[in-house]
Every structure is written in C-alpha cells, then in structure tokens.
C-alpha cells in the first residue's frame, strides 16, 4: 500500500513520528472481520445466541459485536440473509455507547446518512422500546439497499426516507437524537478500500469539511432543544473531526458530552492543539478517535453534542414550535387511526382501498394487532405502530418516504400474498399464522436463489413459512407438486455455484 505523500506528511505531524510509524505498519495488515448479532432472531434457535458467541472474541464497546477469526462466505450463509447478523466494522459499533449512555426514554431518532444500514440496524437494536428510527439516504439506489437491510433486521418502528439533508428543515424540533455519520475523505478505510487511497487528496479533505458543515447546518433546526447530535466520520484529520466539532459548538452553542470509556479500549482523545476560546480548553474536550494500531478496528471518530435547551433566537424557536404544534393538531393520532380503520388505507389521495376480507386476513397474520394500524400503499398492506402514527404522517407530508413499518402482504387478484418482510419480523409475525417447514442448507440456498422448492407430501397446501435452523427465511406457496418461491427477485443470490470451502456460522 502506497499512501499519498500529503497524507503521510500531515498525519506524521499530527501523531508524531513514533505513533505514525505504528499506524503505517497497521495499515499494511489485514483488517479484522467483525459482525453484530441480532438477538431477536437468535431467540428462535434452540442453541441460542450464547452458543454462537462462545468461540469469538467480543467487541468490547458493543453488547452484540464479535470478531471473527476469518471472513465467512456470507453470501452463502442463510442466517445472514435471514437477518441474524450484520457484517459491521468494529470501531463504528462505538455509536452504541452514545445511545445507551444518553438515550434512556423512547425517542425519535434520525440516522441522516444511513446506507447501507450498519448503524441504523444497530441503533434500532439498542434504542429504548417505543422509539422510532428514521433512516435516510440521499442517493436513491443506496436507499433501496438501506430499506432491504432494515427489512431483514425485522423491526416495525422504522421509516426509510430518500431525502437531501436540507429537506429535514421542514420538520423543526422533530427529532430527539440525530446521528450524522457524514461523508468524509475516508482515511480510516484505507486498508479496507484501495479506492479510498486513490481518491484521497488535500483538496478533497477541504471539500469534505465544508460539506460536513453544510449538512450540520441543514439538519440542526430539526433537532429538538436539549436533543442529542452524534457526529462521526471514518477519517483521522482534525479538519473533518475536532475542528468541525469546535465549529458546531461555537456556531450553535452546543454542549460537548463525555462518554464513559474503559482504558483498555485504547481510544485516543483530542488531537487538536489548545487554541482556547474564552473558557473552553480544547485539550480537554471529549472526542473519541479509533486508530487501527491501537484499537482492533478501522479509523473512526465520534463526538456527542447536546443542543441548548433554550435557543438564542427566541423568535425563531417560537415559530418552530408553532409550526410543529400546528402539524400535530392537523394530524392527530385519533384522526389517522379512524381513517385507517374505516377505509383500510393510509389517509391520502388516489390510494385504492383493499377489500375488507383481505384486511381481515392481514390482521390474522399480525401479533398484538391492537398495537398496530394496517395501512395501504397502492396494493401493499403494511403495519405501523399506533403510537407513532402522528410522526409517520408528518414525515409523509414533508419527506419522500420509501418504506414505513413492515409490509404484511400484497394484493394479487383475490388473494393477499404474505410479504417477505413479515417473515423476517419476529415481533410482528403471529405464531401459528402459517404452516411452518424447516428446510436443509441445500434447500435454503435454492430458496435464496429463487428456485422452485419441493416440499414433503405431508405439508399442507397454501402459504408456507420456510425456516432454516428454526429461523424464518420467507414464504412459498405450496401447490402440491412444487412450491412457488415468493423470495424477492431483487434480493436473490445470483451466483450459481457454491464455494469449495464453505465458512458459515
């Protein structure tokens, strides 16, 4: 690996000769492989999560993260496709500490730059029960990947949007917590991604820190007074890290919040020399750097800031609260719930209704149906928590929502075909709603390739939920001589071969 000369000079000056040489050696080594388990899915297995955890080293700052001894053949592991685990870089799992230490009550959270979904799925696992996660991605095709990964993770309290950060200004004081894992120069990914080295230039660093400030300025108004901003990058330089955190503090009056960390985690603190402004001494600020020669992971930076409870511009704050309150009065929970119950659809123009008998079928598939409203979007029926209907309507009015809650079924002629997302949501899928058939590894791979499946003659005809090692994979429609595969076409395994050496959990 040949590092850019300008990067070498700057980073050597930043860290000092000895530390830089250790970093340079680490960047030549193979990166560690880490995954994060989905506890809800492993509850369905006889061996449970503890049996799988035991052979692996734990990621110390994550409750469900582990290091693998070698990279698995993830594409050919059915448990990966079932959402039992997510392949995530270990350092970035540190976001969990910010959420666990500062978010104690149900919250509305925005993950602003969320694709492909590592931090979103992680946040959804650790947020308090009753929270709502809004996962956003500005690039359309990446937002579809984000929606897929969140569907596999299997939580109903999620909305996926496809918007520019500036669009969120239409929702003033809406979010309790915002994660901004901002686009950066990617220095922390050098050993994982050779393209990051090729694209790195000092000019790109300049572009990045300025873009990052624009993003923060765009979304700051939609953070509630007293709300939490988590700012993170995967880079080393202080321009995109400490200097931007200082700018947020000075520009918006934000309070930097410390995190409790253990000494053995070998996290590096502030690298910005003391350029004190007033009583703020920057040598002591709580920011957190991960360097691959000190921590087992890639380069990562994180800071936690709190928005002032009282804005400096009282008129602006008053107008923001008036706007949000007018939205609440216009779209009360009772109004939306009545509309959903009466019409079987989401309040909106031009959305066709679904026949009552099909809505009744959908209700029979959903666990604890009293906690959810069944809404429709075109021919799709989806379930969304009653407690967050008001927020969903506000989001739909102001943003481009591409997925909300969990799809329950799709109308096909006179039938309601169960949605794949329903199979992957253990919180929502009612026990006994479908005939269940556990299949072998070979059958599971065939299913994930969207090939036809032949089931035993004893299996009842109709919709059947396939499981692998007790974990739901998806639905088929058993017609006797074969079972029609209902796996999503766009998610299928495209490879027609199996590796000679399979490495799966």
CA–CA gap between residue 134 and residue 124 (Å, rounded): 10
SS3 content of the chain, % helix, strand, coil (to 5): 40, 20, 40
Tokens standing for residue 36? 């994060």
Report how far Cα 361 is from the mean position of its chain's Cα atoms.
30
> Is residue 181 annotated as involved in ligand binding?
yes
CA–CA gap between residue 290 and residue 108 (Å, rounded): 28
- For residue 463, the SS3 value is strand
Report how far Cα 38 is from the mean position of its chain's Cα atoms.
12
First to last CA, the chain: 32
> Is residue 188 annotated as involved in ligand binding?
no
Helix ranges, 344-487 (H)? 356-365, 389-398, 420-423, 441-448
Active site residue 309: no
CB 93 within 8 A of CB 302: no
CB 199 within 8 A of CB 186: yes
> Is residue 307 annotated as involved in ligand binding?
no
Q: Spell out the residues 6+ positions from residue 170 whose beta carbon is closer than 8 angstroms to its own.
A: 398, 399
CB 493 within 8 A of CB 76: yes
Which of 184, 222, 234, 425 is an active site residue? Answer: 234
CA–CA gap between residue 74 and residue 68 (Å, rounded): 12
> Is residue 89 annotated as involved in ligand binding?
no
Q: Classify residue 163 as left (phi > 0), alpha (psi -120 to 50) or beta.
A: beta
> Is residue 84 annotated as involved in ligand binding?
no
Task: Give the angle 26-31-33 at the CA atoms, nearest 5°.
Answer: 150
Query: Is residue 364 exposed (0-12), middle (13-18) or buried (19+ Cβ within 10 Å)?
Result: exposed
CB 438 within 8 A of CB 493: no
> Is residue 164 annotated as involved in ligand binding?
yes
CA–CA gap between residue 367 and residue 426 (Å, rounded): 9
CA–CA gap between residue 227 and residue 178 (Å, rounded): 8
Annotation: binding site: 113-119, 137, 164, 181
Q: Which residues are catalytic?
A: 234
Annotation: binding site for S-adenosyl-L-methionine: 113-119, 137, 164, 181
């Amino acid at each position: 690996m040949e590092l850019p000369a300008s990067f070498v000079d700057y980073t050597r000056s930043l860290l000092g000769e000895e530390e830089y040489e250790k970093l340079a050696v680490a960047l030549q080594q193979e990166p560690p492989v880490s995954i994060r388990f989905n506890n809800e899915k492993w509850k369905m297995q006889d061996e449970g999560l503890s049996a799988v955890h035991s052979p692996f080293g734990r990621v110390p700052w994550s409750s469900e993260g582990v290091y693998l001894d070698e990279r698995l053949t993830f594409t050919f592991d059915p448990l990966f496709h079932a959402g039992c685990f997510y392949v995530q870089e270990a350092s970035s799992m540190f976001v969990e500490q910010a959420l666990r230490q500062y978010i104690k009550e149900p919250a509305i959270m925005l993950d602003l730059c969320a694709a492909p979904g590592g931090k979103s799925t992680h946040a959804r696992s650790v947020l308090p029960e009753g929270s709502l996660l809004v996962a956003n991605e500005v690039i359309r095709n990446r937002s579809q990947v984000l929606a897929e990964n969140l569907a596999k993770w299997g939580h109903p309290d999620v909305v996926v949007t496809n918007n520019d950060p500036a669009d969120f200004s239409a929702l003033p004081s809406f979010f309790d917590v915002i994660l901004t894992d901002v686009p950066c120069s990617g220095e922390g990914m050098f050993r994982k991604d050779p393209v990051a080295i090729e694209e790195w230039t000092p000019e790109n660093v300049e572009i990045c820190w300025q873009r990052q400030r624009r993003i923060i300025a765009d979304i700051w108004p939609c953070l509630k007074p007293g709300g939490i901003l988590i700012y993170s990058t995967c880079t080393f330089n202080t321009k995109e890290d400490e200097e931007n955190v200082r700018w947020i503090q000075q520009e918006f009056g934000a309070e930097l919040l410390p995190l409790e960390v253990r000494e053995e985690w070998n996290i590096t603190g502030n690298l910005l020399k003391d350029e004190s402004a007033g009583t703020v001494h920057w040598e002591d600020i709580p920011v957190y750097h991960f360097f691959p020669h000190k921590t087992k992971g890639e380069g990562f930076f994180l800071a936690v800031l709190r928005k002032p409870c009282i804005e400096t511009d009282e008129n602006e704050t008053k107008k923001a609260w008036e706007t949000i309150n007018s939205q609440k009065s216009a779209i009360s929970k009772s109004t939306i719930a009545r509309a959903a119950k009466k019409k079987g659809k989401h309040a909106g123009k031009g959305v066709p209704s679904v026949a009552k008998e099909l809505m009744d079928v959908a209700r029979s598939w959903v666990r604890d149906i009293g906690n959810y409203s069944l809404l429709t979007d075109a021919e799709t029926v989806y379930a969304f928590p009653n407690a967050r209907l008001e927020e969903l309507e506000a989001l739909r009015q102001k943003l481009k929502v591409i997925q909300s809650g969990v799809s329950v079924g799709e109308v096909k002629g006179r039938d309601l075909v169960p949605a794949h997302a329903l199979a992957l949501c253990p919180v929502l899928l009612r026990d006994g709603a479908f005939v269940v058939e556990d299949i072998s590894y070979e059958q599971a791979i065939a299913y994930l390739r969207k090939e036809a499946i032949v089931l035993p003659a004893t299996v009842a005809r109709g919709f059947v939920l396939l499981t692998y090692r007790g974990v739901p994979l998806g639905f088929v429609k058993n017609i006797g001589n074969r079972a029609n595969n209902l796996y999503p076409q766009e998610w299928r395994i495209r490879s027609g071969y199996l590796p000679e050496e399979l490495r799966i959990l």
